[in-house]
Amino acid sequence: MPILSELNLYPIKSCAGIALREATLTAAGLMSEHIYDREWMVVDAEGVFMTQREHPRMALITPRIKGEVLELRAPGMLRLEIPLDLPDPATANMLEVRVWNDKVPAFDCDEMTATWFSKFLGVPCRLARFHVDAKRFANPTWTGGIEAPTLFSDGYPMLVISRASLDDLNQKLVAQGRQALPMNRFRPSLVIEGVDAFEEDYAAAIKAGSATLKPVKPCPRCPMPSIDQATGEFGPDPLDILQTYRANPKIDGGIAFGMNTILLDGEGERLRVGQEVGVTLAF
């Protein structure tokens, strides 16, 4: 029987994740301690989202949920604590921010936080938090018309990858005398063990307790898997190997690795590492 082997929460888009033993499923993705996946996002002076693609040092910003704060650490920086309580919408500073083609309102974190991020990343920037009244949804063309909310993710609330898929890639890398890569290069929300390589590509549904998840779109890989999450530097790059067997015509020939996934039912279901899941194939 397949099992969940990893649950990962990314409080700040494109920064390091938090490996969880348990998490709560919501329509907008995983949640822990009332903190949602990609609830925060670093933006430039124009309010446009920033990622590791252009700023690989973001990988070195490590969050931890600690009591009533989100604690951030980064090399050479004093730790930063961000209150978890939501600001009062009536008095909070606001920003309009952009992630891809979507513009949404966001809470503007304070000047000390902006200074901390700007100093570490070497460019003027701010930290924005998803506004309680903001609405953003996955592409309905891929969700089959289902209204699937997401916060500051690239486009979908969850990413599912099987352990066997990474093993398959690593076998090809090692056969060429190259280094095997850890799963964190691909930043999944959920990792499943006990299925064949790339079986997630063909899954019609994934059952976890009373919840049902639906993989809806192959995840097109950008240069981020080439960034070492431990050093914040580029290399080694697996995309040339992936290009030889993972180009997918469904996404215009993009390199696919992992499946973008939505929640069909089971809002509030608690997931835990090691629990059994059921995978129903679409054929």
What pLDDT digit, counting tens, does each position of 93-106 carry? 999 999 999 999 99
Q: Is the pLDDT of residue 114 over 90?
A: yes
Q: Is the pLDDT of residue 276 over 90?
A: yes
What pLDDT digit, counting tens, does each position of 68-78 carry? 999 999 999 99
What pLDDT digit, counting tens, does each position of 127-140 carry? 999 999 999 999 99
Q: Is the pLDDT of residue 194 over 90?
A: yes
Of the pLDDT bands very low, low, confident and very high (cuts 50, 70, 90), residue 126 is: very high
What does the mean pLDDT of the chain come to?
97
Instruction: Give the pTM.
Output: 0.96
For every residue of the chain, DSSP letters joined together read --EEEEEEE-SBTTS--EEESEEEEETTEEEETTEETT-EEEE-TTSBB--TTT-GGGGG-EEEEETTEEEEE-TTS--EEEE-SPP-TTTS-EEEEEETTEEEEEEEP-HHHHHHHHHHHTS--EEEEE-TT---B--HHHHTT---B-SSSSS-SEEEEEHHHHHHHHHHHHHTT-----GGGS--SEEEESS-TTGGGGEEEEEETTEEEEEEEEEE--SGGGEETTTTEE----HHHHHTT-EEGGGTTEEEEEEEEEEEE-TT-EEETT-B-EEEE--
Q: What is the pLDDT of residue 36?
A: 97
Of the pLDDT bands very low, low, confident and very high (cuts 50, 70, 90), residue 235 is: confident
What pLDDT digit, counting tens, does each position of 135-175 carry? 999 999 999 999 999 999 999 999 999 999 999 999 999 99
